[in-house]
Amino acid sequence: MSGVSVTKAAEDAAPAGADLVVLSNVNKHFGALHVLQDIDLTIASGEVVVVIGPSGSGKSTLCRTINRLETIDSGAISIDGKPLPQEGKELARLRADVGMVFQSFNLFAHKTVLENVMLGQIKVRRTDKKLAEEKARALLDRVGVGVQADKYPAQLSGGQQQRVAIARALAMDPKVMLFDEPTSALDPEMINEVLEVMQQLAREGMTMVVVTHEMGFARSAANRVVFMADGKIVEEATPDQFFSNPRSDRAKDFLSKILHH
Amino acid sequence: MEAREIVFDFLEGYDLLGAFWVTVKLTVYSALGSLIWGTLLAGMRVGPVPLMRGFGTAYVNVIRNIPLTVIIVFASLGLFQTLQVQLGGGGDFEVINFRLAVLGLSLYTAAFVCEALRSGINTVPAGQAEAARALGLSFTQVLRLIILPQAFRAVVNPLANVLIALTKNTTVAAAIGVVEAAYLMKDMIEAEAQLILISAVFAFGFICLTLPTGLLLGWVSKKVAVKR
């Protein structure tokens, strides 16, 4: 049983280049605020999409709608051809295939680092405990926090905690990884260690949606940059195109504020 | 030696330890019952099903506002004498009354356990549940594996208060003839002349039960606190 569920993601993974995440005509309101306005976005398998934009532009909300941590008012979202189901077993199964990394890490505070990375495998994938531990240790080594396995999250630095959070998400063999401002809560000297792990993931062909303010990461790792402002996608382009020759005034204004200081 | 025997000779012929043992049994069974039922109620109150949320809220607000004496007396007069609920006591009044008292105490105390626990759930950051849901855990798994373990650690001290109150509330069981400490005290006050000493002995007995409870759980509370 465990063998089946572990290999499941690999077996029916979409071929590289096929549409993996599709948002069409998505709208969402927070009270009077129209936070997502007619969002159309398609993310292909193996693609790294970086979403940037000013604060309050709706980019985090967009990221959170993809695994339905935020509900939408209208439109449709599908992952690997399946529309997002209502809250329940179906949705839980789908979320297991979508890895998520949060700004505030959100490691389970009462469990050790190792237990954090084992929990989803055991409780959701029904993986054998021993296999789960092996995999967890391998992943922790891979993100460079293997020696911290038996500590509690509060004993780790922010950068270490975020790398554990990435390992926790990867342990589920996700089809796509969502990063919601993964470095925004980190001290400057810890940002790079997290970005390096993400760069490595991108090189290995993981499908990624990354909401970030790290322009360097966008330039070097993204296949595509999506620029959002006021709840709308204003511009989509390759990083080269976007950073050297933005088309919209809104993007020009944004870039002029962050790149020259 | 001689003097002490004379001062405390009013205790002779009474099963003081036996009465306090009944108090301890009432407390332990009711504590377990109320912990289980109170946890379920808290789960209902934070759950996604409106009907269960409504039931949990209504239960807590009704039960905690009824005097315990009324609940215990209703258990005896209403459940047992009117509806013939014997809780498997097989006609043995002593057993039936004890079980009814445990039932009443559990139902009553569960309302307070639920509210203590709910305040503990509020101390767990929303991100913990979000991360758990994002992994694909179901609502009950999130509650059982992530939220409640952290909530319980946050409310050891409030739960200790509830337990101490429960220990003292067991005295209400005397109203339906359960021979625990307060029942025996009433007997002794009627038969002996040492009113102040009798009261002091029973007060001391209860302090012996509750003081260690408070100290122990205070220590446990520090020991299990979740560091963030």
The pLDDT assigned to A7 comes to: 35
Residue B137 contacts A where some CB pair is shorter than 8 Å:
yes
Nearest residue, CB atoms, A96 vs list B131, B136, B153: B136
Sheet with A224-229: list strands edge to edge: A98-101, A176-180, A207-211, A48-52, A224-229, A232-237
Query: Using 50, 70 and 90 to split pLDDT, how confident is the model at A15?
Result: low
Query: pLDDT-derived band of residue B189, with 50, 70 and 90 as boundaries?
Result: confident
Which residues of chain B does A96 touch, with a Cβ-Cβ cutoff of 8 Å?
Answer: 135-136
What per-residue confidence (pLDDT) applies to A4? 34
Q: What pLDDT band is residue A181 in, cutting at 50, 70 and 90?
A: very high
pLDDT, average across residues A227-241: 94
pTM value is 0.86
- First-to-final CA distance of chain B: 57
Q: Does B4 touch chain A (CB under 8 A)?
A: no
Summarize the confidence of residues B70-86 as an average pLDDT: 87
User: Chain B: nearest CA to A39, how far in angstroms?
Assistant: 22
What percentage of chain A reaches a pLDDT higher than 70? 93
Residue bearing the bigger pLDDT, B58 or B9:
B58
Q: What is the pLDDT of residue A14?
A: 53
- Of A94-98, A177-181, B75-79, minimum mean pLDDT range: B75-79
User: What band does B166 get if pLDDT is binned at 50, 70 and 90?
Assistant: very high
CB B195 within 8 A of CB B220: no
Q: Is the pLDDT of residue B143 over 70?
A: yes
Compute the CA torsion angle A104, A107, A112, A118 (nearest 10 deg).
-140
Is the pLDDT score of B13 beyond 90?
A: no
Nearest by CB to residue A110, choosing from B133, B137, B150, is: B150
Phi-psi region of A74 (alpha: psi -120 to 50; beta: other; left: phi over 0): beta
CA distance, residue A61 to nearest chain B CA (Å): 14
**Residue partners of B39: CB distance under 8 A and separation at least 6:** B113, B114, B117, B148
Instruction: From chain B, pick out residues whose CB is under 8 angstroms from the CB of A107.
Output: 131
ipTM (interface pTM)? 0.88
Split at pLDDT 50, 70, 90, the class of A261 is: low
CB of A93 within 8 A of CB of A102? no
Residue A9 has pLDDT above 50, yes or no: no
What average pLDDT does the segment A86-98 reach?
89
The rounded distance, in Å, linking the Cα atoms of A86 and A58 is: 22
- Local confidence band at B72 (pLDDT 50, 70, 90 cut-offs): very high
**pLDDT tens, A63-90?**
999 999 999 999 999 999 889 988 888 8
Mean pLDDT check: name the lowest of B28-32, B83-87, B125-129, B136-140: B83-87
What distance in Å separates residue A34's CA from the closest CA in chain B? 23
Residue B80: which pLDDT band, with cuts at 50, 70 and 90? confident
Helix (H, G, I), strand (E, B) or coil at A132: helix
Whether A37 contacts A27, CB under 8 Å: yes
* Shortest alpha-carbon distance between residue B160 and chain A (Å): 21
| Contacts of residue A154, Cβ cutoff 8 Å, sequence gap at least 6 | A109, B227, B228
Q: Looking at per-residue confidence, does B106 or B80 come out higher?
A: B106
Q: What is the pLDDT of residues A153-174, one digit of tens each?
A: 999 999 999 999 999 999 999 9
Specify the DSSP element, H or E, that contains A38: strand A33-44
d(CA B64, CA B87): 23
pLDDT-wise least confident of B19-33, B79-93, B168-182: B79-93
What pLDDT score does B2 carry? Answer: 55
pLDDT of residue B81: 79
Chain A contact present for B140, CB below 8 A: no
| Residue B90 contacts A where some CB pair is shorter than 8 Å | no
* Nearest beta carbon to residue A124 from set B127, B136, B149: B136
Using CA coordinates, name the residue in chain B closest to A171: B135
Which domains occur in chain B, in start order? 2-224 (1.10.3720.10)
Q: Decide if B137 and A123 are in contact by the 8 Å CB cutoff.
A: yes
